Amino acid sequence: MQQTLANFFRALRAMDVRISPAEAIDAHETVDMVGYRDRQFLKDALCIALAKSEEEVGSFEECFDMFFTREEFQDRRNNESAEGGPNGAGPGESDLSESDQALIGDKELAQLVLDGSASDMAQAMERAANEANVANIRFGTQRGLFTRRILDKMGLRDLEMLILQLKRSEEDGAAEMAGRLEQGRKYLFEEARQYINRQFELYARNAGEQLREEFLLETRLGAIDPRDAKRMHNIVRRMAKQLATKYAKRRKHTKRGVLDVRRTLRRNMAHDAIPFETVWKQTKIDRPKIVAICDVSGSVAASARFLLLFLYSLNEVISTLSAYAFSGNLIEISDILENKEVEQGIPEIIEKVGFRPTDYGKSLEDFTQNHLDAVDRRTTVIILGDGRSNNTDPRTDLMRVIHDRAKSVIWLNPEPETFWGTGDSEMPRYKAFCHVAQHCSTVKDLDRIINDVLKTYFRA
Amino acid sequence: MNNIVPPNGVDEKLSSIESIIDGLGDVGYIASRRIATALFVAKNLTKPILVEGSAGVGKTELALSTANWLGLPLIRMQCYEGLDESKALYEWKYGKQLLYTQILKDKMGDILSDTKTLDEAMVSLEGFGDMFYSEQFLEPRPLLKALRQEHGAVLLIDEVDKSDEEFEAFLLEILSEFQVTIPEIGTIKSEKPPLVFLTSNNMREMGDALKRRCLHLFIPLPDEKLERRIVASRVPDIEERLRHQLVAFVQALRGIDLKKLPSISETIDWARVLLLLHADSLEIDMVRETLNVLLKFEQDIESAGKEIAELTRKANQV
């Protein structure tokens, strides 16, 4: 049974349920205690020992049902050899006539396809599947290969040889027997194919998904296919959540060994001010204040969407987040994004300010005139844009104002650095007023950069 | 220490799923099979249960009912940010120590009067042992209390997600070994490990180390049948027809996009309110007026308000 459980863990892991060795041991103990007799009981007990979150409970239930389902092998005996009557079906005590027996000799597989019950067939296939390591299947294209492997392990070669021999043989009934065996072989193929399909579903369904996600992590934000939008949102959310948990709890930081005399005295008033309990000085950790200024003109809009989605998924760790969008001019978009999901808010924003030739100078002017209050010495300003200002005045003087007020200014540019400064790009001039100016084109970049930003706040 | 009669048959009571379901039912907690299984596995593997689910689905109630049913003392520890060892595990009774030193000062003088040098005084003091750091001066906090119960206990660590990460790490030793180490006294190991429930509202994701040491029980919002039984058990006086209607209404309400879906505790409260108002069936006006029992956000009440007529009508057809 150990192998069964091990395979079950593998199937669970394929569905993103994390199972550590310690949990595997728990599961074994649970099974020892519960036994395999009561299916629902086993399911509940294993679920409690293995699934550790709401999503995992869902995945677990699905996987359990799929994994412990073995009744699909159709029982051929009932429809084909009804006259055989009830008997315990083992390969040894079959109801083949002696002449048949003589023809096929001791080939187990031949006996099985002619006469085996569904459960015999299932068992034999299961055994072969274990030998062939079917649990390693990852891709749809491997299905043929694994089917073949199972059949080989079951002794297909012998069966084919036998059929060939019988066809050539002059003996009585040999040709008819060959026909029956060929029928059986067809059935066997079909069952094996079905079996592999189920196994594939069990062990590899998520593998394709994972591959796709890995690919998306590296894809340029602008080039992401609309049909992957949902998947991307999930990825971004997940990354943001990881960052959020990483930084969520560090609000205070105790300075080791520096006594807070005032609070120590106060705490120990009850003990005649004799310092039994010591209180140490603490520094409060400011939560980040972030101002995001996004270019939403055609070329950069896609990246802006993901940056905003990322930032708004971080609300647990960011104290205030204000967002601005611009192309020809600049508006505040925090309201829109707070009342709506980012996915729905973005199109509305683009409609409002997008589709105009970008004017960085004018937009910076709008910002410094109306919203400069949002920037103080605890604020990180993140500007996302390609810095292509259509040959208008870049107003670097305003950039300096922002630079001097903010804790730091970070410029994210979807264009690679070699393009900065070519054509109407004002990037080299803006760069002088940024603490960090980086090329940011994939979700991975985004994750890395935002992690860096948070680090500057939460550094111990 | 305390006068609790040793509860009999705790092991027996937890010996099968059916007896758990029945037993909890007797004290008014309608448990699903999965909940009963969790108790069963927890008992047999001696592992804590991490109970998750949205607010008001009966996480804390499960621990209370279990303690009630098994006749074990319930020791409850509410977690919050900044909770630390001295509040969770033990503390020295500083005041008492101080007082005793003052009182015993003269006594000390007597004892030390016939010693001549400082060294001699030290030696004779040594002979008295660690008076001030002994059990008498130890103030046990919930965790230590739970470990020291001779006949076992139910330990409820409530809202563990509100505690700090450091505290979570500190829980690990207790949850896996059921022992704690006090430097001045030594290691205290539990004779009969308590049944531990940790509850979490998912304010933050719990650490993997903690999750790994616990069994995980997720309590979802109940289906209609289960909820009817729960209401019947908690508010037995309510009429059957009204009970059906109100549960149907709440179930339908959960289908709307709301900030906070009403959970079981809200349903029970509402049933009590309707009982108080002598309602015998759902009426639109009454529903509208009492909606604030079910929904706790102004926005939710507003968005549900538009659908009330429809929902009430449907619920009344049940």
Domain ranges within chain A, ordered by starting residue = 2-67, 96-216, 226-284, 289-458
Report the distance separating Cα A173 and Cα A422, nearest Å.
86
pLDDT band at B7 (very low <50, low <70, confident <90, very high): low
Residue of A nearest to B200 (CA): A53
pLDDT band at A128 (very low <50, low <70, confident <90, very high): confident
Query: So what's the pLDDT on residue A77?
Result: 45
Per-residue pLDDT averaged across B187-214, rounded?
A: 86
CATH class of A289-458: alpha beta
pLDDT band at A92 (very low <50, low <70, confident <90, very high): very low
Yes or no, beta carbons of B45 and A272 under 8 Å apart? no
Is the pLDDT assigned to residue A79 strictly greater than 70? no
State which H helix or E strand residue A50 sits in.
helix A39-50
User: By the CB < 8 Å criterion, does A280 face chain B?
Assistant: no
Yes or no, beta carbons of A54 and B40 under 8 Å apart? no
Is the pLDDT assigned to residue A90 strictly greater than 70? no
User: By the CB < 8 Å criterion, does B99 face chain A?
Assistant: no
Query: So what's the pLDDT on residue A195?
Result: 84
- Compute the nearest-CA separation of A52 from chain B (Å): 5
Query: So what's the pLDDT on residue A89?
Result: 37
Beta bridge partner(s), residue A322: A291
pLDDT in tens, B50-78: 999 888 888 999 999 999 999 999 999 99
pLDDT band at A81 (very low <50, low <70, confident <90, very high): very low
Beta bridge partner(s), residue A388: A425
Yes or no, beta carbons of A249 and B204 under 8 Å apart? yes
In chain A, what percentage of residues exceed pLDDT 90? Answer: 5
Q: Is the pTM of this model over 0.95?
A: no
* Preferred mutation among B20, B39, B40, B41 to probe A, highest tally of A CBs within 10 A: B41
Nearest to B37 among A20, A41, A54 (CB): A41
| Residue whose C-alpha is closest to residue B184's, from B122, B259, B221, B134 | B134
Report the distance separating Cα B120 and Cα B266, nearest Å.
71
Report the distance separating Cα A274 and Cα A361, nearest Å.
64
Distance between start and end Cα atoms, chain B: 55
Per-residue pLDDT averaged across A302-324, rounded?
A: 82
| Residue whose C-alpha is closest to residue A89's, from A69, A105, A73, A67 | A73
In chain B, what percentage of residues exceed pLDDT 70? Answer: 96
* Preferred mutation among A46, A52, A252, A341 to probe B, highest tally of B CBs within 10 A: A52
Yes or no, beta carbons of B41 and A49 under 8 Å apart? yes
pLDDT band at A251 (very low <50, low <70, confident <90, very high): low
Per-residue pLDDT averaged across A412-436, rounded?
A: 88
Q: From chain A, pick out residues whose CB is under 8 angstroms from the CB of B217.
A: 48
CB pairs under 8 A between A and B: 71
Yes or no, beta carbons of B204 and A51 under 8 Å apart? no
Do the beta carbons of residue A381 and residue A409 sit within 8 Å?
yes
Q: From chain A, pick out residues whose CB is under 8 angstroms from the CB of B208.
A: 18, 20
pLDDT band at A95 (very low <50, low <70, confident <90, very high): low
- Compute the nearest-CA separation of B212 from chain A (Å): 7
User: By the CB < 8 Å criterion, does A373 face chain B?
Assistant: no
Token pair recorded at residue A44: 């509940």
Query: So what's the pLDDT on residue B69?
Result: 92
* Preferred mutation among B212, B214, B257 to probe A, highest tally of A CBs within 10 A: B212
Q: From chain A, pick out residues whose CB is under 8 angstroms from the CB of B92.
A: 276
Nearest to A48 among B38, B92, B211 (CB): B38
Yes or no, beta carbons of A52 and B211 under 8 Å apart? yes
Query: So what's the pLDDT on residue A78?
Result: 45
Per-residue pLDDT averaged across A284-305, rounded?
A: 81
- Compute the nearest-CA separation of A264 from chain B (Å): 14
- Compute the nearest-CA separation of B316 from chain A (Å): 33
Per-residue pLDDT averaged across A94-118, rounded?
A: 68
Q: From chain A, pick out residues whose CB is under 8 angstroms from the CB of B47.
A: 26
| Residue whose C-alpha is closest to residue B295's, from B262, B268, B265 | B262
pLDDT in tens, A364-415: 999 999 998 888 888 889 998 888 888 888 888 999 999 999 988 999 898 8
Q: Which tops the pLDDT comparison, B152 or B259?
A: B152
Q: From chain A, pick out residues whose CB is under 8 angstroms from the CB of B212.
A: 20, 22-23, 52
Q: Which tops the pLDDT comparison, A35 or A207?
A: A35
Do the beta carbons of residue B72 and residue B10 sit within 8 Å?
yes
Beta bridge partner(s), residue B157: B77, B198
User: By the CB < 8 Å criterion, does B205 face chain A?
Assistant: yes
| Helix, strand, coil fractions of chain A, as percent rounded to 5 | 60, 10, 30
Q: Compute CA distances B313 → A227, A374, A406, B157, B282, whole Å.
A: 41, 50, 58, 43, 9
Residue of A nearest to B50 (CA): A52
pLDDT band at A148 (very low <50, low <70, confident <90, very high): confident
Query: So what's the pLDDT on residue A98?
Result: 65
Report the distance separating Cα A116 and Cα A87, nearest Å.
11
Nearest to B216 among A34, A40, A48 (CB): A48
Q: From chain A, pick out residues whose CB is under 8 angstroms from the CB of B221.
A: none
For chain B, what's the residue count?
A: 318
User: By the CB < 8 Å criterion, does A359 face chain B?
Assistant: no
Q: What is the CA radius of gyration of chain B?
A: 26
Yes or no, beta carbons of B37 and A44 under 8 Å apart? yes
Report the distance separating Cα B238 and Cα A284, nearest Å.
53
Q: Is the ipTM of this complex over 0.95?
A: no
| Residue whose C-alpha is closest to residue A165's, from A175, A154, A155, A156 | A175
Output b/e per residue, A273-298; b: 16+ Cβ within 10 A: eeebeebeeeeeeebbbbbbbbbbbe
pLDDT in tens, A156-198: 888 888 888 888 877 777 888 888 888 888 888 888 888 888 8
Q: From chain A, pick out residues whose CB is under 8 angstroms from the CB of B52.
A: 53-54
Tell which phi-psi region holds residue A141, choosing left (phi > 0), alpha (psi between -120 and 50) or beta. alpha
Amino acid residing at A439? H
Per-residue pLDDT averaged across A229-234, rounded?
A: 80
Query: So what's the pLDDT on residue A116?
Result: 66
CB within 8 Å of chain B, chain A residues 66-105: none
Query: So what's the pLDDT on residue A215?
Result: 81
pLDDT in tens, A333-374: 888 887 777 777 888 888 888 777 888 888 999 999 999 888
Residue B32, SS3 per DSSP: coil
Which range has the worst mean pLDDT, A429-433, B32-36, B229-233, B300-304? B300-304
Q: How many angstroms from the chain centroid is the CA of residue A312?
A: 20
pLDDT in tens, B227-281: 999 999 888 888 888 899 899 999 988 888 787 889 999 999 999 999 998 888 8
Q: From chain B, pick out residues whose CB is under 8 angstroms from the CB of A31.
A: none
Beta bridge partner(s), residue B196: B155
Query: So what's the pLDDT on residue A94?
Result: 47
Report the distance separating Cα A409 and Cα A438, nearest Å.
11
Q: What is the mean pLDDT of chain A?
A: 80
Distance between start and end Cα atoms, chain A: 50
Query: So what's the pLDDT on residue A82?
Result: 36
